[in-house]
Every structure is written in C-alpha cells, then in structure tokens.
Structure 1
Amino acid sequence: MTGIDSVQLRDVIVHKVGNPTRSENLVLSENALTLNDELVKRMLTKYFLSSFNENEHYHFTHLSDLNLNEVFTYVTKIFEDPSAFVATSALLANFLHSKSTHARVKEGELYIALFDQVPLGTEYKQAIGIFKSENKENFLKVFTHGRSLEVISEEGININKLDKGCLVFRNNKEEGYTVCVVDSTNKKNEAQYWVSDFLQVEPYADSYHNTDKYLGLCKQFITNEYAEKFEISKSDQIDLLNRSMDYFKTKDQFSLDEFAEEVIHHADVVDTFKEYKKTYESVKNFEIEDEFDINLSAVKKQAKIFKAVLKLDRNFHIYIHGRKDLIEKGYDELTGKHFYKLFYDEES
C-alpha cells in the first residue's frame, strides 16, 4: 500500500494465539500498547500496511446472514464503540484460536489495530487491522561491554514481511465492508484457514478481480493443462503466454469469445480451456466473468510473473517476447542433440 504517511495509528493490542491441537495456549493482553514513541508508531504502521495491494478488494460473507460472520460483527462493534476495543479484540483472538486447528497453522502474535486517515482510492477512511506474525528471524545486536563491543543474537520480527493481515475499511458496510487481505504463508488450499475459515471473505467481482484472476487462469492452463492434453513445444507455450498477455495489454475490454478467436484459435483447445475455467473457479471458490473491463494495475501485477523463458538444460535461458516465426527448432543427428535457431537483425 502506498501513501500511508497520512495514516494515524490510534490503538494497538497484541495477543498470542497458538494451535489448540498442539496444546498451544491463547494468551490475552489486558491492555493496549502504550504508543508514546513516534518512531515505533511509524515502524508499526509500515509493518502493518505496506504489504497490502490496495487495488484488490474483498468483502465479508456468510452463507445465510452477514451478521453471523464473526469477524464482521466484531469489527462493526469496534467501529461503533471504540471503548470496546480491548474486550472485542479478545473475542477476535478467541475466534482465531478456535480456527487454528490445521497442522500447518503456527503459533504467533495477533495484532488488532485501529487507524484513522487510511487511503482508499481518492478518499481517506477509518480502518481496523487484524495481523498475525508467525515467522521469526534471527538478528545480530551489537552492544558495549566495558571498553569493548560484543555481539549477541536475538529473535524478532522482520517488519518488511507481514505474514497475515486483514485491513477493514469503514466503507460499504451493507456489502460486507471493503477489505484488503495478505496471506504470505500457508497458501495451499488445505491451509487457507486465514481467508476461508477465520475471515470468511470473498473478492469483489470488479475489473481488478476479473483481470487478475483471468490472467492467473491463463498462465496455469497454458503451463499445465495445455501441455498435458495437447502436443506442444515449450516455445509454443511461451508464444501462447505472450499472446495472452499482449491481448490484455492492448485491449480495453475482455471478451471470452474474442480471446478464444484471436489468441487460442483451435476449437478443441478452446473447449478444453472453457472446461478448465469451470474447474478452476470451483477449486478457487470464485467466479470470473466472461466479459469485463480490463484493469491495467492487475495486468502490470501479472506481467511480473508471466515468465517467457525457454530453459535449455542448465546451459541456456532464452527470453522470448514475441515473433515465434523467427525461432526454428530442429534435431542434429550427428550430435544427437536438439537445437533452436534464432534469427535477428542486431545484437545489443
């Protein structure tokens, strides 16, 4: 998240939440932190907020009634009655403890924070943050001992790496608020207790969500399903990845029918892609629309992980950005090795 210089950190409290299946306890603080040190407040604000993607928005959900979503209810209580901050934070910690039963869930510190002046688009909103630190790192501390300097190792938290976070803006309450989420650990489906079990949030079906998820779908289909179902060379896979990304970079709107005609081409591959989309949506537990406005922020994010790299043994990595017609693949019977022939105008 950018533009956090204006953010005011009002209250923070820390609890310790363990995994009950390993007999790890829940330790509750009686009081909020004393925030007299401005440097500590700035460090905490940076630690809490800098990892969020402000373009990717979620909202609280429930199968029958939104008011039965525990985190939604507790957050609403704090928004409406800040004097209940400490008591309600304990309820949040208890609820998280009850959901921390998966074998992969680690013990850690749970921070509940209340902020003012948090940027949301062109506005500034009050927000509540729920953060959990699970991973510790070793740091070296240099100190004076008599007339010498000594070094000791201390365990602590890297403020540049937020493990889990949820930022709830006081906005769109009727729809389940506007929520940003971070989950840097336990990304496998079986361990997504933070998003699915504790927060119970789903992404808003906006242009960012649709663009981001469709590009993720394309990448997984091309690199996995396409290679399994059809005979395709690595260079052809990369070409399809490039054409997919180029479509999103050059178009204002996405249309599945147009994408299928201009990028995928072959009818049998199109049918396989559409079936894969249904499976992908079911596994990920969200839907992606077939027509939507393309969001450039989502395109830029996905472009960083669309690796158009052809790896040949351990000797060569070839970055392919386009012009598949300038690549020729062959086999040399004399050496018994495959080869690629590349045609170009200038060397730089």
Structure 2
Amino acid sequence: MEIIFNALFKIDIQAPAAEQLAMPDGNNDLRSYIVELLDKIIADPDKKGFVFQSETTETRRLIDDIIAVNDNDYYSYSVHALDIANRLHRKEVDSDNRNNLDVDLLKGIAVISLVKFENNTQKVIISKADYNEFLDVLSYTKRQGFPIKKKIYKAFVADINETGDITKVAVYDTNSVFTVYWYRDFLELQQVHTDEYNTEKVFNIIETKILTPIKKISKRDYIELWNATVRYFRIKPEFALENFVEEIITSHVPFDPKVDVREWAEKTRKQFGKTDFDSKFNIAANKISKRFKNSISLTPQIDLNLKDGIKDLKGTIQRYQEDNGNKWVMIKSEDGFEYFNDTEIMNNE
C-alpha cells in the first residue's frame, strides 16, 4: 500500500469550521497511528455495503475531484479534502442541533487519504477517529487523546479501479450501531441491503454452510453451536462477523477432537467474502424466528423439539449411559416432572 495523499483535520462542533493540521514529517507516533488506522480500516471485515443516493451528490462530486487530481498536485488534494472536512463539520453541527443522536459527538480527527496498490487500484478513505478522555498518571489531570489498542472510528472506503471509476463503497463504524448522520447526512449514502435481508441470508448461510457440516462430524458440537447461534441472533441487537466468530465459534470447546474451531472460524469468514450480504448489520430477529427451532429424534415415537435457544443447555439437557449400555437423555423440567414415573438409574453410580 502506497499513501498518495494524507490530510489531517480537527473536527470540533464548538469551532466555526474544520481545522487542517500539519502532517508531521518523518516517523513519529502520530504518523504511525494514522498508518495503523488505515491498515485496520482496509482489513476490517465488519463492513456494510452502501451506494450513493445519486451520482450528483456533493460528497460524490468531492470524491471524484480527489480521484481526478494528478498524483503530484498536493495543493489540489488539500483543497478538495478541506471541502470534505468542512462538510463533515457542518453535518455534525446540524446533527447536534437536531439532538437526535444516540451517541455524543466527540472531538476527533478526520483523516482523508488516497492510497494506491500494486495492481494500480486505489482507495479513497475518509475516517474520523474519536478522542477518549483519560487520567494522566503523572499530573492526575484529565486529558484527551486517541486510544492506541482499541481504535474508535467511523470510516468510508471507495474502491477505485484502474480507469478511475468507483466500483464499490463501504462504511465502517466501531459503534454498536451505524451512526445515521455519518452515512446518510454526511456521505449521502443509502444501504444496499436491509437488516431483514441480511439477517435472513446470514443465518441461512451459517446454518447450512457451517453448522450442518459440523453435524456430520459431531452431533454434540453441532447442537451446542446451533443453540449458541440461535441465542446470538435472538439476544444481540447487532451482528458483526468478527464478534460472532470469536464469541460463538472460537470460544467453543469441542467435544470431538475432529472439530477444529480455528478451521471452522476461517470457513465462516470465507463465506462472507463470496456472498451478497453485509458482515455487520442490525439483527431483525422477527424475520427468522421460525428458524429458531430444531427437532431431534429420540426414538421412533418421540422427538425432542427445541423451540428456541436455551440459556443453559448443558444444565438443562444431559445424556447418561448405564453400565449395561442403556443410553438416556435427561431433561431438567419442572412442568414435565409430574407426567412420568421415578427412575433409579442415578442409583447405579
């Protein structure tokens, strides 16, 4: 990756406009921070696809202006980047005045970059990294700065082909939900896929391409992962690919050694690289509630019907094998207890 152009702006809604900051020369902590930020944005899998509301919006025009600049014309890059930064500043002021944001608008820096790759494609990246408040361990006073380990940002990436055309745009947001003012008001974008579409497509892919193949290897691992997946979609307000992989797949302790969670985590990631849905979206659980069911045949006469995710699956349903080889499925149930005879299998232990 070669950085063709970088511009740095301070964004503060208390100020009259965006303030362009000098980009320091040589290697230093700020430059390293920005390079790491760009690398993280480009590699971030938790993105959402968008399109411009029209080809003639102000934001689209300003991005086209940057693409059209000759590589060595730094002044023209700076002029167009300042226009973008001032637009961001105006939209943050407007949003604050409307007082309809779910999150506070923080002071931060806007980084506007043009980067080039070996195959002659380019990316225009617009990002805003937020300040965090922290306590200085030497002076014991509150100060502001950028979090190094966990970067907090909003970002826009436009993919540019060899002929200078925008082929794809994506939005990233480390907030729990995508901030509306960022993609709709500032960038003038609209979503490619609805949350309902994403929810249905993603759950189907996970169930058919990830969980069902595991069932052929280990039914115990399958039902544990199926149950955890259902609860994720039922309880979580938002789906994010990496969060799902880490929380559901890689954290699972397999019953069968043939189930390699790292392998299945990578298979899950690859599914998102070749399909037409987003890797981050608000979950519309009502759209797939009928899919939160699973039926397990116990005998030719009895099926165990799971109607939703179970909070404590291991503490609710267990298996038991007697010394004589008889196998049992035991279910913790206050309601069902009154229907059946007492058993003495536990006395065999």
TM-score, normalising length from structure 2? 0.51
Aligned to 1:217: 200
2:206 counterpart letter in structure 1: M
Residue 118 of structure 1 deviates from its aligned partner by 4.7
Which of 9, 12, 16 is matched with 1:14 structurally?
9
**1:113 counterpart = 2:123:** no
Aligned to 1:88: 80
Residues in 2 aligned to 1:166 and 1:71: alpha-carbon distance in whole angstroms = 11
2:334 counterpart letter in structure 1: Y
| Residues 269-302 of structure 1, C-alpha deviations (whole Å, 9 max, x = no match) | xxxxxxxxxxxxxxxxxxxxxxxxx961369968
Give the gaps of 5 or more residues in structure 1. 1-5, 19-23, 143-149, 220-240, 253-293, 337-348
Q: 1:88 to 1:246 in 2, by over 3 A?
A: same
Q: Secondary structure at the match of 1:138?
A: strand
Q: Secondary structure at the match of 1:90?
A: helix
Identity of aligned residues (%): 14
Residues in 2 aligned to 1:115 and 1:319: alpha-carbon distance in whole angstroms = 55
Which of 145, 153, 174 is matched with 1:156 structurally?
145
**1:246 counterpart = 2:207:** yes
Q: Secondary structure at the match of 1:114?
A: strand
Residue 158 of structure 1 deviates from its aligned partner by 0.8
| Residues 289-342 of structure 1, C-alpha deviations (whole Å, 9 max, x = no match) | xxxxx961369968xx99996325xxx87699xxxx9574632688x9xxxxxx
Give the gaps of 5 or more residues in structure 2. 214-268, 286-291, 293-307, 318-327, 339-349
Q: Secondary structure at the match of 1:132?
A: strand
Residue 38 of structure 1 deviates from its aligned partner by 4.9
**1:331 counterpart = 2:340:** no
Aligned to 2:250: none
* 8 A Cα contact 1:17 1:93, kept in partner: no
- Over aligned residues, Cα RMSD in angstroms? 4.6
Q: Secondary structure at the match of 2:151?
A: coil
Aligned pair count reads 233
Residue 156 of structure 1 deviates from its aligned partner by 0.9
Aligned to 1:48: 38
Residues in 2 aligned to 1:41 and 1:249: alpha-carbon distance in whole angstroms = 41
1:246 counterpart letter in structure 2: E
Aligned to 2:158: 168
Q: 1:38 to 1:138 in 2, by over 3 A?
A: closer
Residue 244 of structure 1 deviates from its aligned partner by 6.8
Residues in 1 aligned to 2:271 and 2:316: alpha-carbon distance in whole angstroms = 23
Aligned to 2:227: none
Q: Secondary structure at the match of 1:34?
A: coil
Aligned to 1:126: 122
Which of 62, 65, 71 is matched with 1:74 structurally?
62
* 8 A Cα contact 2:50 2:171, kept in partner: no
Residue 185 of structure 1 deviates from its aligned partner by 2.9
* 8 A Cα contact 2:127 2:156, kept in partner: yes
| Residues 206-250 of structure 1, C-alpha deviations (whole Å, 9 max, x = no match) | xxx79x97562378xxxxxxxxxxxxxxxxxxxxx7x87331337
1:41 counterpart letter in structure 2: R
Q: Secondary structure at the match of 2:25?
A: coil
1:62 counterpart letter in structure 2: Q
